Structure formats: C-alpha cells, structure tokens
Structure 1
C-alpha cells in the first residue's frame, strides 16, 4: 500500500485476517453474520451477502454446553459494561465439532430495560487449546463442576449467617475453585464516605487509611461505589497505571491481582467487595462470573444481617423504654422480674410488667417500706400494634395508680381507656378490637397484705417458706377493653415472711405444647425445686425450664427459641415479724354467686397437704371442707371464708386446722338423716373423720372448725349422741 492511498474496507481487512463480524439483536431475536463469520459457523454465503438466522438457528450451529454459558457471559458484560468473550465449538449437521472460534463482543443498550440491547462482535478461528483445557473433562469440565459445587456451598453458608460478623467470617472462609484470594475486604457507604465494614488476611490495624475515605478519592473501591461497576486489576503495573494516587496504599500488601466488585441491593450500591490475590489472575469470563455471583450473594447476606441487627437494636430500645427499672431496694420485700420477647418479627409483643410506688410509698417506717403496686399484663397479639397499645396501657395504669385509686378502680378505668383507644386506632373496625389481660397487686411490705384485682389473667401463685407451692384463686373480671363498665372485685391475701409471690403471663405456662393445667404443673415443679436463697436465680430457672439455657439479657436473660412472650414478677417478703411463722397457711372466700369455687377450695387443700403422710387423711380433709363450705352456701345468705393452717404441736406432730366462717348466728346441730335424706350428714362425717371439731360463736356469725393430726395421738373425740363442741376460747382469726 502506497502512502496516501485510501484504506481498504474494514470487511476486506477482517476477511484477510480470517475474522468475521456478527450482530445479535436481542429484541428481535435475530443474529446476522457477515460472509467470513458465516463461513466460520459452517454456513458459507453463495452470493456474498450476510446471513441472518433466528436465535434458535444460531444456537444449532454451536455446541449446546458452550451456548448455555453464553447467556451468563453476556449478562455479566451488560452489568459491568465490559467485553463479552467466549470460546465456542462449531458443530456440523451431524453433530461433529468442525472448529473452535473465539467471540468478542460489546453490548450496546437500546432501551431502559436490562434486556434491551444488541451485541456487535467478531468471530475468529483459534487452534491453540484454551488455558487449562488439559485439566478439564471433554464436555463439562472439572473446573465447571467445582465452581457449581462451590457456589452452592457459598450460597448456603451466607444464607445461614445471621449477623454482619458471621457474614464476614463466612466470606473469609470461602475457597474459590482454582483461584482463592489471599485477602478480603468489605467496604460500606455512609453518606459520601467510604468505610471498612470488615477485612480478612490483612494486619489488624491496616484498615485505617481506607476508613472514612471520600467517595471521590481515586481508589478502586470508591470508584466501584460511585459507578456500580466492577474493577479488575490483573497486575501491579495495571494497578499503578490506573490508580497512581492509591497505589502506595496497596503496594505494601504485596498482592499481584485485585478484584473490586459492587455490592448491589435493589439497584442500589451499598458497598464494595475486594478480593486480593498473591499471584496474577487473568480474570477470565468464568472467573469473573464466579466473583460476581459471590458478590451478589454477599450483598444479600449483608443486607439481611443489617436488617436483623437494626430490628434487634429497635427491640432493645423498645424494651428499655417500655419496661421499667426495678428501682431502689424496698425495705421488707425483694423483687425480681423477667421479660422474654417472642422470636418472630421485631421480637416485641404485648406482654409487660410494671412496679409503681403508690402515694406515700416514698415514706419509710421502722417495719418496712411504703406501699407499692405490681402490674403484669398481656395485650392481645404479637405485632407492633400490640406493643404500641401495651405502652399506652402501661402509662394509663401507672397514672391511675399514682392518683391513689384502689385496685378495682384502677382496672375499671384502664378497661374504659383501652376500649376507647382500641376503637380509635383500628378505625372503628369491630373485628379488630384488642383486649388485654391484667393482674394488679397492691402490696404493703410492713404487713404483707396483698390486695389483688384480676382482669382475665392467670391467678398468682405463692411459694411458702418451706417450699410448698399453691395457686391462689382470686376473684376476677373480664379482660380489659371488652366491657367499659366491667367490675373487678378485690381479693385480699397475706404474704408471710419468707413467702414468694409469682405473677406471670400465659407464655410461661403454655409454651411447648402445654395447656394451662399441664403448664402450671411444670411451673410448680420449678418453683418447688428452684433456688431458695436467690430470687434472681429462681427467676432464671423459671425461664430456663421453659426454653433451656439463656443467651442474651434485657432485664433478665433472653433465649433463642421462643413461641410466646413471657413476663414474670417475683415478690418475696423479707421482713421478719416479731411473731414467728406457725407454718403453712391459706385463706380464700367462696361467694354465694360462685359455687364453682368449691372445686378450687378442694384443690387448695390438696396443694396444702402435698407432702402429708396419710393419703386417706388428705381425702378426708377435702371431703370435710367441701361439706362445710356447701352448708354455708346452702343454709345461709352470706359468703364462706375458708382458712387452713398446717403447724406443729408441742410434741412435734403436724396438725391441720381448718376453719370455715360465715355471718349466720344459727349454730348447726347433728341430725340422724334417713336413708333417702339429701342432707344432714355433714356433722356426722366430721365426727367420724376429724380428730377434733367444734363450732365457735363470733361477734357476727360463727366459725366451724376441725383438726387432723398427721400421726394420730388421740382417738376421735366425737361420740354418736354428743352435741358438737362449742368453744368459748377466742378462735384463731379467720383472716390475718
């Protein structure tokens, strides 16, 4: 070619170099080959014109394994804006390989959709084997199988990582097939600054130059975060040429190749991942595909971990704001509390507890501290709305209690409040009204008197000084928020020195497939066998009995596997009175309108005598109190007050004394009932079964009592024709 002559056509030059041109219109699904490219794929053009094939027709000219890899190579080139390069085996009509060609193409976007593009590239026949071909199997290749297995393992491990620290640990342990990096680093973006989230393979203090780096810095990771496109540096010379300002920072690590890939979530670049290699890597399309896939999985794992950590942080904040501190120590009583949220969602539900100093509670006496209210409750649901209603209800209860209202009035006002806000929050939808159960206890540390109002909540339980545990049935009303005019009767109990009161939500009882009955048996066993000296250890043992060993802490230990929220309060009276405790004691009222509480009275007796030596005597005691209480409800117009006490006499034998008091002045008389009579056998049974029994007149009404000795020292004193003993002694007070 002489100087000044025009250049020959490009097609002629490429044909002379045995290189063909082709175009793939992705939208039209049409592939066009020039004359040389058509010859290379085994379809020579007889008239010297380009050959156009459908996508399926073009696919038929290449080996199916090679064609299947084309899509991944092209998608990677479209995402990164780089060249798509691949080696393809050309097949004839009989399925024989006639040659191998190398394709190099450049994606050109033709629309906003990721699938709107066309490829313009070259085809050139190659005779040398591809790098590493000797180590591959004829069709699939060992490297290809290793890559697939690696990606499956990496995806599984990253999906199981639950925190950013775990994700980084998994990323550091990835062993890529054939080209494992020596060092890794994960960068994040905060505003317009680049930060280091974590790294592996570098000294502990090596991240300082890269932390808080401006995104406009001429550093590969900063460029990746700005553009969202990967950067591959195959040699130190290439790194130094492209990023001369950042090269001194990277040179000290003595790496030979680097890959910086974007971490993209929903089209937004949240950071960059750096993989550094101790040897030179050419970053073939296969290798880039592996790195890109790992980067996508890493971005998803980091995003999930970030959301989980944000939820945990929000949970901790909500718990700290919604749950009270136990405050300063109150003389005369000890308190322990636990809140264990459910494992789903934000881990915040409707369970709560509160400890409220009552008016005058700041005053202290020589006997102990001022009055305090203990509240525990559960708003229906396990969602954010339940947590919000719980917070509002807790504030309302605290306000009503601080105004000095009695327990029944506090719950009545709280029910009207919840009914009003629940109707407002749900937009008047009658199918989405929320209610709450609640137990409100007003305690006087000086006297041990507990005044209890209950709104559909589980009854409290008491562990006595000797380890005996009893459920304390209390009068109650509807859950809060159902009926704004509901009444909540008050029950009075006395907590003796050394006794412990348990208040809990149903999550402690019903978790693990238990119902209220079987769950209570489990809680009762734990209370009986749990630590007697430390209230905190007893609270831990109750939670661990339901869920196993704990692993986190709020106001108490949290656990990993949870079905329902748990809130519990333990109150122990530590004040020593001048009069020593005489033993176990229980009291309850059976109202005329509540005959079903007779069954609760029988259960109370069995719990009180749980370690009694003679089962027949236990059955006798249960039968006698059933008769005594039933007589009061049938033959009088008032309520029955049952008091039962187990104590030791002077000779060391345990004695059971049961008293049933009523307001009627009519004394019972023993009768001789006929065979078909429906009544008149109560005193006969008492005379036959009790060691001693009698009737004590009181100022208003009377008290019928009987005694049983665990080891009988006396013969029954009753005789068939004798009148009952009418004691003139001052009776044991039926209520403390």
Structure 2
C-alpha cells in the first residue's frame, strides 16, 4: 500500500483474514451475517439476515446453549464473549470449528441483548488440551459437566458452614484448580473471612476483617455484585494499589473474586487464587460463576440450619431442667435427643421437682406432635405440673388437675381440629425410704435396674392420656427402690426408634443395660443413647439420622444408700433383687399386676414349675387378705443367693389382727385351701405377727436345672 492511499474498508480487511462479521438482536430474533460469515455457516457467500432458529440449525445443539450462557455472562460482567462452536451440515456432521468473539449489550427496559461479533475458522485442538488455553473441546465440556454435577451434589449435601467450606476447598476444577480459597461474609458494614484455605497454610490474614469501602476486590464485588478477574500481579497492582502490598505476600499470579448471591442479595464473596497465570476464558468464568452460585445456595442453607439449631437448642434448654447430683441420697441423670426433622424440638420433656420434707418428683411426658405447637403446649403443661406438684398434691391429684388444664388448652386452640393429648408418668420419690408413689396417664410403665443389674418393667396402674377426658381418674401405685437400684422413666422413642416395637425395644434396652452392669449412671445413659440412636457425632447428621422416627428422652434415678453405690465398678453389686407392691382393698385387679411383677423378677429362674407355683401361692395369699380382712396388702418378693443355689422369698403383709390357720374344707367349699397349697408347694413357709398386723411368707429354692436366658419384659 502506497503512502497516502486511503485505508481499505474494515470488511475488506476482515475478509482478507477469513473473518466474518455477524449481528444478533434478540428483540427481533434476527441474525445478520456478511458474506464470509455466511460461507463459514455453510450458506451462499453473501450478506443475509436469518432467523435465529436458522442459525441454530447450523450449529451443534450443545454449542448454541454455550453461546447463550457466555453472552449473558459477558453482558453481566461487561466483558468480551469468546466461544468456539462446531458448524454442522444438514445431516448433523461437524464440518468445521469456528471461534466467535463478540461484545454483547443488555437493555434492561426491554430485557433484550444486542450482540456484534466476528467469526473465524480455527483448527480443532486435540483431546487433552488444557482449558486454560481457551480451547473448548467436547471432552473438556463433558469433564466440566461431570465436575459441576459432582460439585453440586457435594454442596447440596453439606449441612453446616464448615462442611460447605471443606467441600469448596476440595473441589478439583477441570483443567485449572485454585490453590488458595477464601469466603467472605457481610457483617453489618464490614467484610469478614468466614473460611479460607491457603497453600502453604497461613493462620493469619490481613484481610480477616475490613470495611466495605476498602479498596479490595472482595469488597468491590460485594458493593457492586459483579465479579472481578485479575489475570496477573500487574493488573492487581494497577487496579488496587492500596491493598496490593498486602496481597503480594501470598505469592499468587491470578485471582477470581465472585459474588455469592441468593435471591438477588449479595451475601458475600468467594476468592479463588492461582499460583500460575490464568487468562479466565469465558468457559473458565462460566465454571467459576456456576460454582459460586451453588456455594451461595449451600452457605445460605447451612446458615439457616445453624440458626435453626441454635434456636432449637436455646428453646430446649429453656424447657428442660438442668439435672444435677446435688440431691442427697440419689443420683439423677437425663438425656434428650430430638428427632431429625423440623425444628428438632417436639413434645417430649422431663422434669425434676423438689418437694417438701426432702422428697422430689420425677416427671416424663410426650405431647402429641413434633412441631412448634407441640413444643409450646409441652412448655405450658410442664409449668402447670410443676405448680400442682409444688402445692403438695398427691400424684393422682397432680395428673387430674393437669389433664383438666391441658384439655382447656387444646379446646382453646385457634384450629378446632388440631386437638392434642399428652402422655405422662409422675413419680413421687422419698430418698430416705426408697418409696415411690406413681401415677400414669397413658405413658409407658417405668423400668427398674435391680442391684444385681437385672432389668425389669414395673407394671403400674394408669388412666387416659392428659386432655382426653378432663374428669379422668389416675390411680396410684406404690413401689420400692432399694439402695443400688435405678429407676428409669422413658418415652416411646427410646423403644421404637430403629424399627422396633415395644417388646423388641425393651429386649434391646435390657441387653444394653445388663451388658453395662458395672457402669456408672452417666456411662449407662450414654450407652443407652448410643445403642438406640448411634454415636454422639451422629445425633443430628449422618446416616443414622434416617433411623429416628421419634424424639428420645429418658430420666434415670439411682438410690445411692450409704455406700453411694450406683453401678460404679468400685462397688460390687449384691447377688440379689427385690420388688414391692401394694394391693388395696378397692383394687383387686392389682393382684394381676403383682403376679406380673413376680414373674418379671423370676425371668431367669430355671424351673417353670417353681415359677408357676410362686405365682399361684402369691395369688392365694393376696386374695386371702382382700377377702378375710378390711386392710390393704403389701407384697415383697426377693431373690437372693448365687445362680444354682438361689432362694425366692415372697412375703405378704397386712394390718389385720387375726392370724390365719389351716382348715379342712369340704368338697363343695369355695375357700380354705390357701394354706394347704402353701404347705404342699413351698419349701418353707410361716406366719409372723407384726406390731400392727401380720405377714405370711413362703420360700422356694432353686433346682439343679440349667439357667434359662432372659425373656421379654
């Protein structure tokens, strides 16, 4: 070209370089191409305007979607969009690969894009070319898609901020991976690092906390909501001269700062730093942007979950008392593990209530449901029970008043159809004597671990759940707790969690408790939780979370006695166990309960005939008291000795003054055979006068038969 000659037209220059021009307006849906661009698309070499569907048919389907994503990203960031596309023929075969570079603009009013760019044929790189070189091959696309799927799955499963940061630090991006990561969160008008990973590790960071107005890329990202890419230290120093001296010490060569945005709100920024130069091609930016969006969603979920757990813990702590060992004569411990769903707080509760004269009351219950309303009702019911107990009412009166109160609460609900009931077990304890006065409202019977480690279920009288009938009665049952024995109050989640029913759940619990015969009370409680619910690390997360259908709550009280023996290994257990039950004149059905107590006590007795004999003789002695006296009967049954040489002693005491004597009943007589049966079946027996009444007792000695295994409670 001679000096002074006019410059050739831009189109002529591009045509000489085999580069075409194209223009796309999404408002009209038209794509205008010049002759060279038309030739590259496989059309006649002339300027033409096409519908975007016609252009789309000339491109590989995956590449068209790639163009859409890159154009939107470039328009958002105000950068150049670059992408490689495969041009296909009418049969869908790839005929050439072209590179497109364009400058898109976005009209917020019409929400449309205008794109002006170039199209140039390039040689398809061989498989394995690094993504950092700008190549977009089919293999790289597939690896990128697989990476994004794995990353999305891992981030979706993260349940805490710490887990999200750990997943982000372990991401290995296709073709390029950052070796320095930091996540910034907004706290008021400041930006703070909430997690980071650097190579080599550095515990201190000059950017740990800064004002949002700081001349720092992450602060700018939060202020503007737009990503910042810095491909070289020179670019960093030029754009952020104030903070570059601090960032220089980390010895990085490229940085990407991306906004963490959820629902249109920028909640922080993510920094990915590289120890080697990265040009941040559109494909690399697309991957980083996608990861940032997934990370923002994961952090938002994790933050909400952590806030919810904190709320749950605070709510639960305010509703459940702190149980300590400060009560003389007893040790108490409790555990509560909420269900895995919702607020992780529901209707299960327990309470320990101090009473006059050095007594105390144990309460455990379960309000129907696992929602906020159940938790609220539980809190009100717990307060009411505590108030009624503190007034000095007996257990039956406490539950009767609580049932009337709870019925009024549920009837006053905003939703008339949302009626609830509550189960409850109330036990008044006298630590000095070991006497237990129980009343039960539809709840599970208490369990008792005897001094030798044997676990029994203590049958008690009961009434309807609280709130079902405001006029329901709640009969009481008197039990005895000997030194070294442990009373257990549980909710149904302890038994039924993990697919068990009440029977199999008691078998599982019995096996655990008897396995830890020499464990202290706290260790025993931990063993129960682990057996039912899994390790403590899995209380709220992990694979065992799916096993939990109900809350787990239990309360344990051990009577220490003068030796302070509650199962500690330093205090050997005596080789014996004992049970006690009162049968009132107005409650003849309690004879059946006494029979079950005795059979439970003899669960491992080798001779079934002797067990049947003991149960029969107990029925006879209790019936005699109820028929021939006007007083109540107290049954005390005890097993002593070592296996193979044990003794059963059953004693029934009443306040009557007349001593029993043997008679010879006629064939048609309906009574008079009690003492005859005792004389025939018992190894030893006798009648002992008391200061106010008498007692009749009988003994049976263990036969030389192999000991059977435990049976269901």
State the TM-score, normalized to the length of structure 1: 0.83
**1:459 offset after TM fit, Å?**
1.5
Give the whole-Å Cα distance in 2 for the aligned partners of 1:96 and 1:576.
92
Q: Where do 5+ consecutive residues of structure 1 fail to align? A: 361-369, 713-736
Equivalent positions of 1:650-669 (< 5 A) are 654-659=647-652, 661=654
Aligned counterpart for 2:581 among listed residues 567, 588, 602:
588
Which of 122, 125, 137 is matched with 2:120 structurally?
125
After TM superposition, the structure 1 stretch with the greater mean CA deviation from structure 2, 449-458 or 540-549, is 540-549
Distance 1:151 1:338, change over 3 A: same
Give CA deviations for 1:199-233 in whole Å, capped at 9, x if unaligned. Answer: 11256556532122112222111111122221111
Q: Which residue of 2 aligns with 1:528?
A: 514
Change over 3 Å in CA distance of 1:119–1:12 after alignment to 2: same
Asked if 2 retains the 8 angstrom alpha-carbon contact of 1:341 and 1:349, the reply is yes
- Structure 1 counterpart SS, 2:100: strand
Structure 1 equivalent of residue 711 of structure 2 = none
Q: Which residue does 1:175 correspond to in 2?
A: 172
Question: How many Å separate the matches in 2 of 1:602 and 1:133?
Answer: 81
Cα 1:78–1:406 change in 2 (3 A) is farther
Matched, 1:600 2:593: yes
**Where does residue 706 of structure 1 map in the other structure?**
698
Instruction: Report the alpha carbon displacement of residue 385 of structure 1 after superposing the two structures with TM.
Output: 1.8
The residue aligned with 1:482 is 468
- Alignment partners' CA distance in 1, 2:650 and 2:85: 99
Task: Sort the Cα spacing of 1:147 and 1:457 in 2 relative to 1 into closer, same or farther, 3 A.
Answer: same
For 1:647 and 1:13, the matched residues in 2 are separated by 110
Match of 1:568 in 2: 554
Match of 1:410 in 2: 398
Q: Determine which of 286, 290, 294 is the counterpart of 1:289.
A: 286
Residue aligned with 1:208, SS: coil
Q: Distance in 2 between matches of 1:692 and 1:531?
A: 32
Stretch moving more, 703-712 or 439-448: 703-712
Aligned match of 2:414: 427
1:725 alignment counterpart: none
Q: 1:58 to 1:432 in 2, by over 3 A?
A: same
Q: Distance in 2 between matches of 1:513 and 1:66?
A: 51
Find out whether 1:645 has 2:642 as its counterpart.
no
Q: Report the CA distance between 1:493 and its aligned residue.
A: 2.4
> Which stretch shifts more, 36-45 or 449-458?
36-45
- Give 3-state SS (helix, strand or coil) of 2:222's partner: helix
Counterparts of residues 42-121 of structure 1 (less than 5 Å):
42-44=42-44, 50-53=48-51, 55-93=52-90, 100-111=97-108, 116-121=111-116
- Structure 2 vs 1, CA of residues 527 and 5 (structure 1 numbering), >3 Å: closer, same or farther? same
Which of these residues, 193, 196, 217, is aligned with residue 199 of structure 1? 196
Q: Identify if the C-alpha distance between structure 1 residues 283 and 468 changes in structure 2 by more than 3 Å, giving closer, same or farther.
A: closer
Aligned pairs (5 A) from 1:176-325: 176-202=173-199, 205=202, 207-325=204-322
CA 1:12–1:535 in structure 2 vs 1: closer, same or farther (change >3 Å)?
Answer: same
Aligned residue in 1 for 2:492: 506
SS at match of 1:483: coil
Deviations 1:681-720 (A, max 9, x none): 65553342123456678899876543333369xxxxxxxx
In the TM superposition, 1:19-34 aligns within 5 A as 20-26=20-26, 28-34=28-34
What do the CA deviations read for 1:420-448 (whole angstroms, capped 9, x no partner)? 22233x3141x311221111222222222
* CA shift for structure 1 position 112: 6.5
> For 2:74 and 2:519, how far apart are their aligned partners in 1?
70
Which residue does 2:709 correspond to in 1? none
* Equivalent position of 1:625 in the other structure: 618
Task: Indicate if the aligned counterparts of 1:81 and 1:229 stay in contact, CA closer than 8 A.
Answer: no
Q: Distance in 1 between matches of 2:424 and 2:278?
A: 67
TM-score calculated relative to the size of structure 2: 0.85
Per-residue Cα deviation, 1:288-334 (whole angstroms, up to 9, x for no partner): 12212221222222222222222222222223222211246122111
Picking from 382, 388, 398, the partner of 1:394 is 382
Cα distance change, pair 637–26 in 1 and its aligned pair in 2 (3 A): farther
| Number of residue equivalences | 686
CA distance in 2: counterparts of 1:420 and 1:2, whole angstroms: 104
Residues 447 and 112 of structure 1, relative CA distance in 2, 3 Å threshold: farther
Relative to structure 1, is the Cα distance of residues 680 and 522 closer, same or farther in structure 2, using a 3 angstrom cutoff? farther
What's the secondary structure of 1:264's corresponding residue?
A: strand
Asked if the contact 1:23/1:118 (under 8 Å) is kept, the reply is no
How far off is 1:127 after superposition?
4.6
Query: Secondary structure, in 3 states, of the residue corresponding to 2:101?
Result: strand
Match of 2:568 in 1: none
Confirm or deny: 8 A CA contact 1:643 1:658 kept in the other structure.
Answer: yes
Q: Counterpart in 2 of 1:41?
A: 41
Aligned equivalents of 1:461, 1:3: Cα separation in 2: 108
* C-alpha distance 119-634 of structure 1, shift in aligned 2 (>3 A): farther
- Cα offset, 1:395, TM superposition: 1.8
2: CA distance, partners of 1:147 / 1:295: 15
Kindly report the root-mean-square deviation, in angstroms, between the aligned alpha carbons of the 2 structures: 3.8
Q: Tell me the SS of whatever aligns to 1:432.
A: coil
Is 2:533–2:539's contact at 8 Å kept on the other side of the alignment?
no
1:366 alignment counterpart: none
Q: Which runs of 5+ in 2 are unaligned?
A: 564-572, 705-713
Q: In 1, Cα distance between the equivalents of 2:608 and 2:293?
A: 70
Q: Secondary structure at the match of 1:258?
A: strand
CA distance in 2, matches of 1:379, 1:133: 63
Cα distance, 1:574–1:59 mapped onto 2, change above 3 Å = same
| Map of 2:149 onto structure 1 | 152
> What's the counterpart of residue 535 of structure 2?
549
More displaced 10-residue stretch of structure 1: 243-252 or 35-44: 35-44
Deviations, residues 316-353 of structure 1 (Å, cap 9, x unaligned) = 22232222112461221111222222222222121111
Alpha-carbon distance in 1 for matches of 2:97, 2:678: 108
TM-fit CA distance, 1:533:
5.6
2:536 aligns to what SS in structure 1? coil
SS at match of 1:522: helix
Distance change in 2, residues 1:39/1:401 (3 Å): same
Deviations 1:346-402 (A, max 9, x none): 221211111122235xxxxxxxxx112221111111122212222222222222222
Q: Could you tell me how far apart the structure 1 residues matched to 2:641 and 2:191 are?
A: 77
Shifted more, 526-535 versus 330-339: the winner is 526-535
Aligned to 1:353, what secondary structure does the other structure show?
Answer: strand
